[in-house]
Amino acid sequence: MTVLIVDDQQSMRGICKFILNQLGFKTVIEAKSGRDALTKLESSNVDLIISDWNMDDVDGLTLLKVIRKHPKTNKLPFIMATGRGDKEQVKEAIACGVNNYVIKPFDAGTMKKKIEAVIGALT
């Protein structure tokens, strides 16, 4: 399974990649922006996206909307990572087709639960 991490902060991508490796994910692709993620999606087969909400260039919500409009990616599991648990923001993401969300900072246990809620039990 290939996971695409989208975050404009290299430190957050590193933490997320470390957690995903702990959970058994071997193939993790990193993107530094929504625009970068769209380029990587064109050249890679991705099974799950974990994206930050607040990014310059193309933010996580815009990325989600673009992914949901494209036939190749419209069913792709998408987890939004956000620094704040604003209910209106969460409702907006759900309305746009997000599969789950995780509030930063998160640990491996929290991330595992969020991923399993979307793709099923991890072995």
pLDDT, residue 65, reads 97
Per residue of the chain (123 residues), give pLDDT as tens: 999 999 999 999 999 999 999 999 999 999 999 999 999 999 999 999 999 999 988 999 999 999 999 999 999 999 999 887 788 888 999 999 999 999 999 999 999 999 999 999 997
CB 54 within 8 A of CB 7: no
Neighbours of 75 (CB within 10 A): 11
Q: What is the pLDDT of residue 8?
A: 96
For residue 86, what pLDDT is reported? 81
Amino acid occupying residue 17: K
pLDDT at 16: 97
Radius of gyration of the chain (CA): 13
pLDDT at 54: 92
Q: What is the pLDDT of residue 87?
A: 85
